[in-house]
């Protein structure tokens, strides 16, 4: 008998988690939960409200009062903040620059982790982020830790974000990825860390199809 499992995918910025996780979920008929989009939406809400990014209490209030929903429409992932589709506004250099203080505050993380566990309570989920295998779903039947060289990750991000904007360069992106990797790995609460029982996949020289197939195979073995 097959049973629905939970799949946790963690790894550094732009390692290919979201694209891979979404497709794995589609093939397995599972729900995909992009926790990065949740932290990004809270950052959007905090910027819109003009909150001081060092004011932990104010950020926690923003996190508590924001309703975030994730939906897949025509194969595209959409993120809603209080009913407004913010998908186009959360993957920008402005959010990349401001997300670190938001994702570092333990109060904000507590609220996010609680919501993420609720979304996953019935299993049949693929969730990606930084702390999924270690904090959010430590009981997940399959844990993946996705890595890729900073060169490969920066090239991917440039392709996603540039759109002919000359201010977005490979060097700027590399600097932002290195800064966020460092901040994500060294924070006290929910740091980016490989769970001891995670399978490591280095995607530097892999295609999306290869990444997806590898994880789907592992998932099918563990669904038995
Ligand atoms: O797409 P990319 O890999 O650049 O980032 P993301 O997965 O959308 O996450 C953006 C930021 O949110 C990360 O740099 C983390 O600071 C934060 N994040 C987190 O702290 N915990 C998570 N579970 C997911 C994201």
Question: How do the domains of the chain map onto residue ranges?
Answer: 6-215
Pocket of ligand 1, candidates 9, 10, 13: which has the most ligand atoms within 8 Å of its Cβ, to mutate? 13
For atom 7 of ligand 1, the residue with the nearest CA is: 36
Strands (E), 29-158: 31-34, 68-73, 76-81, 84-85, 125-129, 142-147
Sign of CA dihedral 212, 218, 220, 222: negative
CA distances from 41 to 34, 59, 98, 195 (A): 11, 12, 11, 26
For atom 9 of ligand 1, the residue with the nearest CA is: 36
CATH number for the region 6-215 comes to 3.40.50.300
Residue 1 has pLDDT above 70, yes or no: no
| Residue 2: predicted pLDDT | 75
Q: Which pTM was predicted?
A: 0.93
Q: What percent of the chain has pLDDT over 70?
A: 100
Q: What is the mean pLDDT of residues 132-140?
A: 98
Q: What is the mean pLDDT of residues 99-117?
A: 96
Residue 182 has pLDDT above 70, yes or no: yes
For residue 129, how far is its CA from the centre of ligand 1 (angstroms)?
6
Helix/strand/coil percent split, the chain, to 5: 50, 15, 30
Q: What is the mean pLDDT of residues 208-214?
A: 96
**Lowest mean pLDDT segment, chosen from 16-20, 61-65, 159-163:** 159-163
Strands 125-129 and 31-34: parallel
Q: How confident is the model at residue 168 (pLDDT cuts 50, 70, 90)?
A: confident
Q: What is the mean pLDDT of residues 115-119?
A: 96
Strands (E), the chain: 6-10, 31-34, 68-73, 76-81, 84-85, 125-129, 142-147, 199-202
Q: How confident is the model at residue 144 (pLDDT cuts 50, 70, 90)?
A: very high
Q: What is the mean pLDDT of residues 25-45?
A: 97
Q: Could you tell me if the CB of 36 is within 6 A of ligand 1?
A: yes
| Residue 37: predicted pLDDT | 97
Instruction: Dig out the tokens for 187 from the structure.
Output: 């924070």
Here the contacts of 171-178 (C-beta below 8 Å, separation 24 or greater) are: 172/93, 174/150, 176/93, 176/96, 176/97, 177/12, 177/13, 177/14, 177/150, 177/153, 178/150
Q: What is the mean pLDDT of residues 13-41?
A: 95
Residue 163 has pLDDT above 80, yes or no: no
């Amino acid at each position: 008998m097959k049973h629905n499992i939970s799949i946790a995918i963690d790894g550094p910025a732009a390692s290919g988690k979201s694209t891979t996780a979404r497709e794995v979920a589609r093939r397995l008929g599972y729900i995909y939960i992009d926790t990065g989009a949740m932290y990004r939406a809270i950052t959007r809400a905090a910027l819109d409200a003009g909150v001081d990014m060092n004011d932990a209490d104010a950020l926690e209030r923003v996190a508590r009062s924001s309703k975030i929903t994730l939906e897949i429409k025509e194969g595209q992932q959409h993120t809603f903040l209080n009913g407004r589709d913010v998908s186009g506004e959360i993957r920008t250099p402005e959010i990349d620059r401001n997300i670190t203080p938001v994702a570092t505050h333990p109060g904000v993380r507590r609220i996010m982790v609680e919501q993420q566990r609720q979304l996953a309570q019935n299993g049949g989920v693929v969730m990606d982020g930084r702390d999924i295998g270690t904090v959010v779903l430590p009981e997940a039947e399959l844990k993946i830790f996705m890595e890729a060289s900073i060169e490969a990750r920066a090239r991917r991000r440039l392709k996603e974000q540039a759109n002919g904007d000359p201010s977005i360069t490979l060097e700027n992106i590399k600097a932002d990825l290195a800064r966020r990797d460092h901040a994500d790995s060294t924070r006290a609460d929910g740091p980016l860390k490989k769970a001891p029982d995670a399978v490591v996949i280095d995607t530097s020289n892999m295609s999306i199809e290869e990444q997806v197939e590898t994880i789907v195979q592992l998932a099918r073995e563990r669904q038995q």
